[in-house]
Structure 1
Amino acid sequence: QAAFPLARGIRHKPVTAAVRADAHRGLPGSMDDERWRRGYALLARHGLSFDLQAPWWNLDQAADLACDFSGTQMVINHTGLPVDRSPEGLAGWRAALERVALSPNVALKISGLGQRGQRWTASANVPVIRDAVSIFGPERCMFASNFPVDSLVASYETILVGFLDAIADRPQAERRQLLHDNAQRIYRL
């Protein structure tokens, strides 16, 4: 595994659009960039996974990347960044997740659900968590805290309890997958 045997993957933020209206394909440094993709192709050779941080309106690029490089495990960070919580925004987010979830080599890290200027609440985030798990399935999702960044919007306990509430109706085996087993398997720990 490259020069560091304990390394499991690379986390990167390719060039993406900060707002949905500015989302364009083919930008230098984006997931469409041929030079960037040549670098991405090296991950499988070295047994490394890829943690992607990109807003949902760029997940069409991630879906193409996952399909083109099916031998590389991709993990989408921060639940695909559902920052626009309007009904239209959430519909777009769900559609983007559904498309990228078609590739079995993609997993979803449920984290980073804090909203700028707002406290983290279960009422705002439990539906998002449930949608994410329904789209990807409990075998391809994992909980992550995004601490200390999310400490700006809530305590660790508040976020964990909210996540536990969101999955409380799931069987024990699925809850274990979401909280432990999937991370252990995906990151080969």
Structure 2
Amino acid sequence: MSEILNEPFVDAHQHFWNLDLHSYPWLQGETVPNFRYGDYSALRRNYLPEDYGRDTAACAPAKTVHIEAEWARDDPVAETRWLMEVAARHGRPTVIVGHAQLDRADVAEVLAGHAASPLMRGIRNKPVTAARREDARRGVPGSMDDERWRRGYALLAEHGMSFDLQAPWWNLDQAAALAHDFPDTQLVLNHTGLPSDRSDAGLQGWRDAMARLAREPNVAVKISGLGLPGRAWAQPDNVPVIRDAIDIFGPERCMFASNYPVDSLVASYDTILAGFVAAIEIYGARERRALLHDNAIRIYRMA
């Protein structure tokens, strides 16, 4: 460990991809509209355990959670099979969150295929959300309100799977209803609820939405994805947001996550980790260990 941290920690959100062997449309021809960091062409390269190892050389996590990396959607279970091979060779990732399109007709088959992997812990499926706060609506097809999508979500409990949610804060009213209606499924909010609007009004809207979601006891949040387009990752920008998120959810329901290599667009791994460590220095030793390690171990069942 470096001077950043002298205790074990878990990276609860990282990705690998091999563009030479597999298809990732968002990295190979397609373009993600309104990508929150702007130009992401620097990500159009292989990112494998040796690359992650170089990026984390000064502060290597004890365990990692691999989140599906937008593998071609025709066979999402193939990504899990490949990651099992990667883990057998390299010792990373520790556990896997795969992809399943919850409103597809074959969702039960896909979930069963993922469940065959001993490293599988949950599913991420990005529901339909609004690109702007003023466009947020309830009941949109493919959203968390959609009954067909919810029928797929209901199947997660049969496999003991959690759900990783990526959605902007103005859609978190739907997430709160989802968590309330399916109390036996652990919901993990990705990227701190995407507080991209750092105006006073934007941050207040984010805090209000996060507080509504935090009322549901089966929700946790990953502190990640806090970069701002056109700006280097900076503690004055992000430490207050980290502390607000932890204050809202409590230190027993928040986790460190790097979102590497995506967040390499805005910061080195060391910078992100050091910022998180600085943000949590106000807590006691037990709470810091929970935020850095124990919560992720519990929520992603890595004990």
* Both proteins in one fold, TM over 0.5: yes
Shift of 1:4: 2.4
Amino acid at match of 2:181: D
Paired with 1:87 and 1:169, the residues of 2 have a C-alpha distance of 24
Does 2:234 match 1:130? no
Q: How does 1:19-168 map to 2 (within 5 A)?
A: 19-168=132-281
Picking from 122, 131, 138, the partner of 1:18 is: 131
Aligned equivalents of 2:133, 2:223: Cα separation in 1: 21
How does the TM-score come out when normalised to structure 1? 0.98
Question: What number of residue pairs does the alignment pair up?
Answer: 189
- The residue type equivalent to 2:211 in the other structure is E
Following TM superposition, by how much is the alpha carbon of 1:5 offset from its aligned partner in structure 2, in angstroms?
A: 2.8
In structure 1, the partner of 2:285 is 172
- d(CA) in 1 for partners of 2:117 and 2:224? 27
Deviation at 1:11, TM superposition (A): 1.2
How far apart, in 2, do the equivalents of 1:95 and 1:174 lie?
Answer: 24
TM-score by length of 2: 0.62
SS at match of 1:107: strand
Which structure dedicates a bigger proportion of its chain to helix? 1
Tell me the C-alpha RMSD between the 2 structures: 0.9
- The aligned counterpart of 1:4 is 117
Where do 5+ consecutive residues of structure 2 fail to align?
Answer: 1-111
Mapped to 1, the partners of 2:120 and 2:296 lie a distance apart of 14
Gaps of 5+ in 1: none
Percent identical: 73
Largest Rg, 1 or 2: 2
